[in-house]
């Protein structure tokens, strides 16, 4: 770990997924998505901000199909290390989902609260298909829809780096570490 491993009194305890491990897995996920769709599918990739932005950027560069990217912002953490359970949709996409193949890109699925709120909301908008791609999955909460693509099963730790944060810190790290 670098000198960036300590910030605001918080210290990283270990690197869980290295930069190289993440890059290999994200590239493979992009190839799997490419194999799952055709050029006629009108693919829309919806990233959940802020945590998914680095993952989403790397992922869509590995997808060899025409696609569009848009974003949603849902908040449930605030400045704590546990989800409050209260999911607020702070920013909604203006993109039409009607008849499109939609992939929700999430950085981490833990309690499932965010996806359990968003999947029914987005399903009502008439997409041809609605799938979830998650970099990390803790598998601790019941989901209305399981992710089709998962990068890694995540340990029961609070993780930061590669887009994941603690109070807006640590997102910039090229690896994923335990706080």
Q: CA 128 to CA 101: how far, in whole Å?
A: 5
Give the active site residue among 42, 58, 107, 110: 110
Pairing of strands 43-49, 67-75: parallel
Are 134 and 83 spatial neighbours (Cβ–Cβ below 8 Å)?
A: no
CA angle 93, 66, 48 (to 5 degrees): 30
* DSSP 8-state class, residue 161: B
Dist CA 144 CA 146 (whole Å): 7
27 is catalytic: no
> Token pair of 13, please?
């305890």
Residues involved in catalysis: 110
């Amino acid at each position: 770990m670098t000198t960036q491993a300590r910030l605001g009194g918080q210290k990283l305890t270990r690197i869980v997924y290295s930069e190289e491990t993440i890059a290999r897995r994200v590239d493979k996920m992009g190839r799997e998505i490419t194999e799952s769709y055709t050029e006629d599918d009108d693919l829309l990739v919806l990233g959940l901000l802020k945590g998914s932005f680095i993952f989403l950027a790397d992922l869509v560069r590995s997808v060899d199909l025409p696609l569009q990217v848009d974003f949603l912002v849902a908040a449930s953490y605030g400045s704590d290390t546990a989800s409050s359970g209260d999911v607020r949709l702070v920013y909604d996409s203006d993109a039409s989902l009607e008849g499109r193949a939609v992939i929700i890109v999430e950085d981490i699925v833990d309690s499932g609260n965010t996806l359990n709120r968003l999947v029914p909301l987005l399903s009502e908008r008439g997409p041809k298909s609605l799938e979830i791609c998650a970099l990390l999955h803790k598998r601790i909460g019941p989901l209305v829809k399981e992710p089709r693509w998962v990068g890694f099963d995540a340990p029961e730790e609070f993780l930061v780096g590669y887009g994941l944060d603690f109070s807006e810190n640590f997102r910039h790290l090229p690896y994923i570490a335990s706080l």
